[in-house]
Amino acid sequence: MSSTTPTRILILGGGFGGVYTALTLERVLRRELKRGEVEIALVSRDNYLTFQPMLPEVVSGSIGILDTITPIRRLCPRTDLYTRAIEEIDLKRRRVTLAAGVGSRQLQLGYDQLVIALGNVTSFAGQPGLSEHALPFKYLGDALVLRNHAIHALEEADIERDPKARAGLLTFVVAGGGFSGVEAVAELNDFVRAAARSFRNIRPEEIRVVLLHAADLILPELPRNLAEFAQRLLMKRGVELRLNTRLAGATAEAALLKGGERIETRTLVSTVPGGPNPVVAALDCPKDRGRIVTDSFLQVPSLPGVWAVGDCAHIVDASTGEPCPPTAQHAVREGRCAAENIAASLRGSAQRAFAFKALGKMGSLGHRSAVAEVFGLKLSGFLAWWLWRTVYLMKLPGLDRKIRVAVDWTLDLLLPSDIVQLRTDRAVSIRREHFEPGQAIFREGDHGDWLYLIEEGEVEVRKQVAGEREVPIRRLGPGDCFGEIALLGDHVRTASTHSLTSANVLAIDRDACQALLSTLPPLRDFFNRLVEERVGMRPESGDGHGLDLIESRQ
Ligand SMILES: Cc1cc2nc3c(=O)[nH]c(=O)nc-3n(C[C@H](O)[C@H](O)[C@H](O)COP(=O)(O)OP(=O)(O)OC[C@H]3O[C@@H](n4cnc5c(N)ncnc54)[C@H](O)[C@@H]3O)c2cc1C
C-alpha cells in the first residue's frame, strides 16, 4: 500500500451488508487507517441502519419508532458517510455518481475497492393497482405509514354509517405468508383488535384481518409442524387464512385476487419478495435473477476490486454449494468476509471462501408467542418468543438501542397500546390511482377536489336525468382529462365518472391545479376552453362557475 495516496474503499448501501463491511474494515485495517494509507467511505440514502427483523413491532407500538434504527456515524466512526442517493456506478471509469443534495450538483466518487451492498427493492411490477394502493413493508417509513394508516381506518370506521364502507375500513389484508408477512399480520392483528377497544362505535366482531398466501402452508422456510402451529395460532387469534390464494391487483377499495374474487379493504399490505435494485439492474456484469454473481471470495469475477454482498448478491456457500438466502444473518457474515478479504488482498495475504451455516430461523407471532428452529431444535409458543426477543436484543447494534428496546418491551407488558395517529405525510399534490372496470371514480354530489388525467384505459362520464337514471354523456381515453368542471368551479360534482376498462389515472389536487393555472396562461386558456365546451355539451346547462373562477384567480 502506498503511504502517499490512500487506497479508497467505497461501500454502497447502509444495510446489514454495507454497515458490517465498514465495521469490520475499521477493525481489521485499524493500523492502515491511522497511518492514512486507507480511507473508507459509505454511501446510503439514509444515515441509519434499520434493524428490519423488528419492524413488525413498530406497527403494534411494542417498541418505539426510532428504536429499530441506529445511526451509521456512531456505529462506524472512522468511515466517511455520504447520505445521498446513488444514481450510477461506472465500472469502467471506477466512479460512482451520487444525486444532487441541497444544491443542484451531483457528486462523483472514485474508488480502488468497491463493495456493492444495495439490497433489493419492493417491486409491484405486473400487478395493476398495487404500486398505487398497496402498502410495502421493508423500511422504517413503511412500518410507520402502516401503523398510521390502520389508526386512520379505525378513526374513519368509528364515524362511518354506511355498512359497506365500514366493512372495507375494518378489513386489513396482508399478502405474503413468508416471515415478514406472518410477523406483520400477527402484529397488525394484535394492534387493531387491542386499539379498537378505545373506539366507542367499533364492535370486535366487525374487524377482519386476512392473510393471503399462494401455497397451502405458510412459513415455507420452517419445518411443517412449526408452520402448522403458526397457522393454528394465527387462526385462534382471529386471523383469516386464505391459502392457495394469489393477489392479482388492487384498487383504493379492494384487494383483487386471482380468479376474480375481491376483498373489500382500505388496508392492503404486500410483502411480496423484492425485485432488483435499479442501480444494480443497470450494471453490466454477470447476474443470476437480477443478483450480482460473485466468486467464493465475494469478488465479482472479471472486475478486480469489485465485491458484492447481501440481498443484491448471488453467492454460493463454499461448504454446501447452495446459493445463500437473502437474510440479515447472511448479509452480516458476507459483509465481514468481504472486509477481511479486501484487507487480505491489500496485504497480499490469503483470502477465505464464504461459508456460513445459518444458526436458526425464528418468527414472532405476537402476543408472547413465536416459532423457532435453532441448532436443529424446534420450539414454539412462549419459549420460542422469549428466545426470539433475547436473540434479537443481543443482535441489535448499539447499547443505547438495546436499553431502549428492553425498556419498551417491559412497559408494553404493563401499558395499553398507543393509538395516536401521527400526521407525517406532506400535502399530496399529485398521485396515481388505479380503477377496475365498472368502478366509480367519483359520483354526482361528491366534493370536487381533484383533476384527473387518463394514462391508460377508458372512463365514462354520466349524468342523472330527472334525479334518477344515469345517462352517459362522454367517453374519455388516454390523454383526456376530467373532473375540471367541479374543481375549477369550486362546487360539487355535477356528473359521475366510472371506469369502463381497467384504468390508470393521475390525480392532481386543487392547490396544485390552481398553482399551475395561475402561472401558465396557455394551460389556463386550455381549461377555459375545455370547461366552456363541456358545459355547453351537458344535457342541462351548467352554472358557468368554472370560467368565472379561473378568470377571477388570474
Ligand atoms: C420486515 C422484514 C423482516 C425481516 N426479518 C428478518 C429476520 O428475522 N431475520 C433475517 O435474517 N432477515 C430478515 N429480513 C431480511 C433482511 O432484513 C435482509 O436480508 C437484509 O436487510 C439484507 O441486507 P442488505 O444490506 O443486503 O440490504 P438492505 O438491508 O436492503 O440495505 C440496502 C441499503 O442500500 C441503500 N440503498 C439502496 N439503493 C440505494 C440508492 N440508490 N442510493 C443510496 N442508498 C441505497 C438502502 O437505503 C439500504 O440502506 C427481514 C426483512 C424484512 C423486510
The pTM of this model reads 0.82
Distance 271 CA to ligand 1 centre (A): 13
**What pLDDT was estimated at residue 470?**
86
Question: Which residues face 8 on adjacent strands?
Answer: 39
Residue of the CA atom closest to atom 7 of ligand 1: 53
The string of pLDDT tens digits covering residues 149-169 is 999 999 999 999 999 999 999
Using DSSP's 3-state secondary structure scheme, residue 170 falls into coil
The string of pLDDT tens digits covering residues 363-402 is 888 888 889 888 888 888 888 888 888 888 888 888 888 8
**What pLDDT was estimated at residue 223?**
85
pLDDT-derived band at 540, boundaries 50, 70, 90? very low
Distance 311 CA to ligand 1 centre (A): 7
Pocket around ligand 1 at a 6 A CB cut-off? 13-18, 43-46, 52-53, 55, 85-86, 117-119, 137-138, 179-180, 277, 279, 310-312, 326-329, 331
Which long-range contacts (C-beta less than 8 Å, at least 24 apart) are formed by 289-292?
Answer: 289/314, 290/120, 292/116
Q: Are 148 and 424 in contact (CB under 8 A)?
A: yes
Distance of CA 284 to the CA centre of its chain: 27
The string of pLDDT tens digits covering residues 313-335 is 999 999 999 999 888 999 999 99
How many beta carbons lie within 10 A of that of residue 89, not counting itself? 23
The string of pLDDT tens digits covering residues 441-450 is 999 888 888 9
All three cell numbers of 292, joined, read 450480482
Residue of the CA atom closest to atom 23 of ligand 1: 16
Question: Which residues face 96 on adjacent strands?
Answer: 89, 109
- Taking 70 as the threshold, does the pLDDT of residue 546 lie above it? no
The string of pLDDT tens digits covering residues 69-105 is 999 999 999 999 999 999 999 999 999 999 987 766 7
Name residues whose C-beta falls within 8 Å of residue 414's C-beta, 6 or more positions apart in sequence: none
If one residue of 20, 269, 311, 364 were mutated to test the ligand 1 pocket, choosing by the most ligand atoms within 8 A of its CB, it would be 311
Distance 370 CA to ligand 1 centre (A): 22
**What pLDDT was estimated at residue 425?**
60
Element (H, E) at 90: strand 86-90
Determine the Cα–Cα distance for residues 317 and 354; give it in Å rounded to an integer.
6
Determine the Cα–Cα distance for residues 538 and 245; give it in Å rounded to an integer.
45
All three cell numbers of 57, joined, read 413491532
Residue of the CA atom closest to atom 21 of ligand 1: 328
> Between these two residues, 52 and 21, which has the higher pLDDT value?
21
If one residue of 58, 107, 118, 270 were mutated to test the ligand 1 pocket, choosing by the most ligand atoms within 8 A of its CB, it would be 118
Alpha-carbon distances of 293 from 287, 297, 357, 358, 516, rounded to whole Å? 5, 11, 20, 21, 48
Residue of the CA atom closest to atom 20 of ligand 1: 328
- Taking 60 as the threshold, does the pLDDT of residue 528 lie above it? yes
| Cell 483470502 sits on residue | 351
pLDDT-derived band at 237, boundaries 50, 70, 90? very high
Determine the Cα–Cα distance for residues 10 and 80; give it in Å rounded to an integer.
9
